[in-house]
Amino acid sequence: MTAPKLHSVAPEKKSRVLIVDDNPTNVELLFAHLKPHGYTLDKAFDGEAALKRIEENPPDLILLDLMMPKLSGYEVCQQVKSDPKTQFIPVIVITALKELHDKIKAIEMGADDFLMKPFNKVELITRVKSLLKLKELYDDVDRSETIIFTLAEMLEAKDVYTRGHSERVAKYSVLLARHIGLDEQDQEWIRRGALLHDVGKIGVRESILNKPEKLSQEELAHIRSHPARGCEICRTLNSLSPVLPIIRHHHERVDGLGYPDGIGDKEITIGPRIVSIADAYDAMTSNRPYRKGIPPADALKIFQKEKANGQWDPELVGQFIELIKSETGI
């Protein structure tokens, strides 16, 4: 008997290429060159139409003319590269412009490669293939990240007491990061780190996670292994490396009495400092199996009282109190 083929249940995905040029002859020519390679081809004749197509049906690669009516190729490129949903779509600029400064401008707008008109067919296919390969790799990373984020979400969703915890911690963390003036990129890393901060609880026994009674030494050690476990899970993806300190150090204390590494004020970076405050605030104000949540005003009083006790960064706690007061009107 012949063994069934794996690819028979997972048909190969056809890459989508969007061709953007105001000259129909150029579009037809590119169609003719690319069609035999099995790509799904799409076209747009001006910048605005291109952005509309990209939003409706994101391509895997864009071949982009620069000089077009309505919206130039530069503007299209800039918009594609500044939107997190489309930033990894490779853009090849096709232009008759020979001037160096035009190339530099396109690079500044985020273009991945160039082809000069009249273009060489072999060169075109080679560049398209290699950038599509790169896009496939980005998509793989994206899928792997999605799996990890979904795992973290599923872990919380199982338990009525933890449902939505990481989402809320992420929300407070980003508010605090913005409040102290961190830039958008850092805010995004903090958001992702906060969403994943407890992902290591996947490896912690459920009977311990939900135990209302006091934990034994062994059980406490087991639950305290979650930051290191979480870090190991996310370490498998290079793309998540900026969030590893948040996951590993969200239970460290500035006096060095936290876990897992017992690092102190000098070594704890800003990400885990922020997330540990947001984590504590959400833990205090939410119901748990063993106690009811307290009102936000009471949580802020605890922060105020404990501000300098060595658990958190006192300066950041001060900022957090100010922030929550202004957000809630307490």
Q: Given the rule CB under 5 A, which of 11-19, 31-39, 196-204, 257-265 is the region that contacts Fe ion? A: 196-204
Nearer to Fe ion, 53 or 165 (CB): 165
Distance between CA atoms of residues 192 and 57, nearest Å: 26
Task: Kindly state the smallest distance separating residue 219's Cβ from Fe ion, in Å.
Answer: 15
Question: How is 214-251 classified by DSSP, letter by letter?
Answer: PPPHHHHHHHTTHHHHHHHHHHT-GGGGGGHHHHHHTT
Distance between CA atoms of residues 173 and 150, nearest Å: 20
Q: Given the rule CB under 5 A, which of 24-32, 74-82, 174-182, 192-200 is the region that contacts Fe ion? A: 192-200
Q: Which residues contact 36 (CB under 8 A, 6 or more apart)?
A: none
Nearer to Fe ion, 78 or 225 (CB): 225
| Count of residues of this chain found to bind Fe ion when the rule CB under 5 A is applied | 1
53 and 18 in contact (C-beta within 8 Å)? yes
Q: Given the rule CB under 5 A, which of 6-14, 160-168, 195-203, 263-271 is the region that contacts Fe ion? A: 195-203
Task: Kindly state the smallest distance separating residue 279's Cβ from Fe ion, in Å.
Answer: 6
Task: Kindly state the smallest distance separating residue 185's Cβ from Fe ion, in Å.
Answer: 24
Nearer to Fe ion, 246 or 321 (CB): 246
Angstrom CA distances, 82 to 75, 220, 310, 321, stand at 11, 45, 41, 33
Residue 282 within binding range of Fe ion, rule CB under 5 A: no
Q: Exactly one of 198, 252, 282, 313 binds Fe ion (CB under 5 A); which one? A: 198
Q: Which helix (H) or strand (E) holds 301?
A: helix 296-306
Task: Kindly state the smallest distance separating residue 246's Cβ from Fe ion, in Å.
Answer: 11
User: Which residue has the CB atom at the shortest distance from Fe ion?
Assistant: 198
Nearer to Fe ion, 270 or 283 (CB): 283
Distance between CA atoms of residues 57 and 17, nearest Å: 11
- DSSP annotation of 45: S
Identify which of 158, 191, 148, 159 has the alpha carbon closest to the alpha carbon of residue 172: 191
Distance between CA atoms of residues 86 and 251, nearest Å: 35
Q: Give the active site residues.
A: 201
Number of H helices, E strands in the chain: 14, 5
Give the relative orientation of helices 73-82 and 47-56 as an angle to the nearest 10 degrees.
30
**What is the chain's percent helix, strand, coil content, to nearest 5?**
60, 10, 35
Task: Kindly state the smallest distance separating residue 230's Cβ from Fe ion, in Å.
Answer: 8
Please count the residues of the chain.
330
Task: Kindly state the smallest distance separating residue 197's Cβ from Fe ion, in Å.
Answer: 6
Nearer to Fe ion, 46 or 198 (CB): 198
284 and 172 in contact (C-beta within 8 Å)? no
Nearer to Fe ion, 65 or 198 (CB): 198
Nearer to Fe ion, 141 or 283 (CB): 283
Task: Kindly state the smallest distance separating residue 250's Cβ from Fe ion, in Å.
Answer: 6
Q: Given the rule CB under 5 A, which of 71-79, 139-147, 193-201, 315-323 is the region that contacts Fe ion? A: 193-201
Q: Given the rule CB under 5 A, which of 7-15, 191-199, 267-275, 294-302 is the region that contacts Fe ion? A: 191-199
Q: Which helix (H) or strand (E) holds 121?
A: helix 121-157
Taking CB under 5 A as the rule, which mask of x and - marks residues 205-244 in contact with Fe ion?
----------------------------------------
Contacts to Fe ion by CB under 5 A = 198
